[in-house]
Amino acid sequence: MRVITFGTFDVFHVGHVRILERARALGDWLVVGVSSDALNVAKKGRPPVYSQDERIKIISSLKFVDEVFIEESLELKADYIRQYRAQILVMGDDWAGKFDHLGSICKVVYLPRTPSISTTALIEKIRL
Ligand code: C2G
């Protein structure tokens, strides 16, 4: 089964590792859409700490990731799912319910987030 997931994966941390590991375990091929710098500027008003090239390099180096591409728009999920022939879409449960409409083209699974860690919390901690 081919699994797809999406994310920014900025300031890479163990919560990111755990969702990717669990996503891969649902099938035997994991494709990861890494959000572009431009998408982050448009949606969050600032670029990520790590550039998209750095984020792509990190995600590509993981043993449980098979394929990586740049996610250029949040609205193109159905196209990416078809293009990469994914049978399962995995998202963290911070997105619960948001992608249920894609259930017509693939199985949609929301996995629990790892508690007590986030890019935002890490940035705050480093700043102190
Ligand atoms: N995550 C997690 N546990 C954490 C932090 C993050 O399981 N403590 C998961 C998120 O639920 C998400 C993935 O790690 O599935 C990547 O998180 P983000 O980089 O915050 O991704 P996000 O900005 O939510 O994705 O189409 C989605 C976009 O690409 C944006």
Q: What DSSP string runs through 25-57?
A: HTSSEEEEEEEPHHHHHHHHSS--SS-HHHHHH
Strands 107-111 and 67-71: unpaired
Residue identified by tokens 């990717």 is 20
Pick out the chain residues at pLDDT < 50.
none
pLDDT at 76: 97
Q: Is 9 in the pocket of ligand 1 (CB under 6 A)?
A: yes
CA distance 15 to 77: 22
The reported pLDDT for the residue numbered 8 is 97
Q: Give pLDDT, residue 25.
A: 98
Residue 93: CB atoms within 10 Å: 12
Q: Which pLDDT belongs to residue 68?
A: 98
Q: Is 91 in the pocket of ligand 1 (CB under 6 A)?
A: yes
Closest-lying ligand 1 atom to the alpha carbon of residue 111: 7
DSSP assigned state of 106: S
